[in-house]
């Protein structure tokens, strides 16, 4: 059994790799620090399962998953992220993921998710699945304007709404300040907004940003 674990934080990645090896003694866990490396490693050897973070530098986890699934439609991708906002869960599933759970999950839940997705069964963390079922409009992003955004534009929209400075966003995505500025213009034009306040308001109404909670 071969699992590829994709996470840009080395300590976190290595910790979960060790946990998976302890929980599944017959597993081989390879690691990738970003989307580019994940694409290369899958090309070298196709894993049984890819465990993917969303917030990767350069190519996002969403875009990496989309590209992997285009090349290998049968590849199974399980998102494992600190973010549990419903629109992001829906974006992950739309990109082709077979499952989604948050990093607040217990080792037992992670093990259950890995086993089920390895067997080809979709897996959504129970609390998230319940929220998706009870809030279908929120799971789609609530506002139809959000459906006009590409995955990269949506990712930038989320980071802007969470208050990340443009310089930090550009560094995280490994793009230039000018490229980010162009993306910001595209996002605002598609969403028909003209200010940061309107952007945040839209994100709050769509369930992407939670008032009173910090996002990492």
Domain ranges of the chain: 2-136, 141-205
State the Cα–Cα distance between residues 78 and 92, nearest whole angstrom.
9
pLDDT tens digits, 44-102:
999 999 999 988 888 889 889 999 999 999 999 999 988 777 778 888 888 899 999 98
CATH number of 2-136: 3.40.50.2300
User: In the predicted model, is pLDDT for residue 14 greater than 90?
Assistant: yes
pLDDT tens digits, 156-170:
888 888 888 899 888
- As a whole number, mean pLDDT of residues 185-210 equals 84
Looking at residue 134, what is its pLDDT?
Answer: 62
User: In the predicted model, is pLDDT for residue 140 greater than 60?
Assistant: no
Fold of the domain spanning 141-205: Arc Repressor Mutant, subunit A (1.10.10)
H helices within the chain, ranges in order? 10-23, 35-44, 61-71, 86-94, 107-118, 126-134, 136-139, 151-161, 166-173, 177-191, 196-205
User: In the predicted model, is pLDDT for residue 175 greater than 80?
Assistant: yes
Top-confidence residue, 208 or 70: 70
153 token code pair: 């534009």
């Amino acid at each position: 059994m071969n699992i590829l674990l994709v996470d840009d934080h080395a300590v976190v990645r290595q910790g979960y790799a060790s946990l998976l090896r302890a929980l599944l003694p017959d597993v081989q866990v390879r690691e990738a620090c970003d989307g580019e490396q994940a694409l290369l490693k899958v090309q070298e050897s196709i894993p049984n399962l890819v465990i993917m973070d969303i917030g990767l530098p350069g190519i996002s986890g969403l875009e990496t998953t989309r590209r992997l699934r285009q090349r290998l439609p049968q590849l199974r991708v399980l998102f494992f992220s600190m973010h549990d906002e419903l629109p992001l869960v829906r974006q992950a599933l739309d990109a082709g993921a077979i499952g989604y759970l948050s990093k607040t999950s217990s080792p037992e839940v992670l093990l259950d998710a890995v086993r089920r997705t390895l067997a080809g069964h979709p897996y959504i963390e129970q609390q998230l699945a319940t929220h998706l079922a009870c809030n279908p409009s929120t799971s789609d992003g609530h506002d139809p304007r959000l459906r006009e955004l590409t995955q990269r534009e949506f990712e930038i929209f989320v980071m802007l709404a969470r208050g990340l400075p443009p310089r930090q966003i550009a560094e995280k995505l490994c793009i230039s300040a000018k490229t980010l500025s162009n993306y910001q213009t595209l996002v605002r034009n598609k969403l028909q907004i003209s200010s940061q306040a309107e952007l945040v308001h839209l994100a709050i109404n769509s369930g992407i940003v939670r008032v009173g909670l910090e996002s990492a």
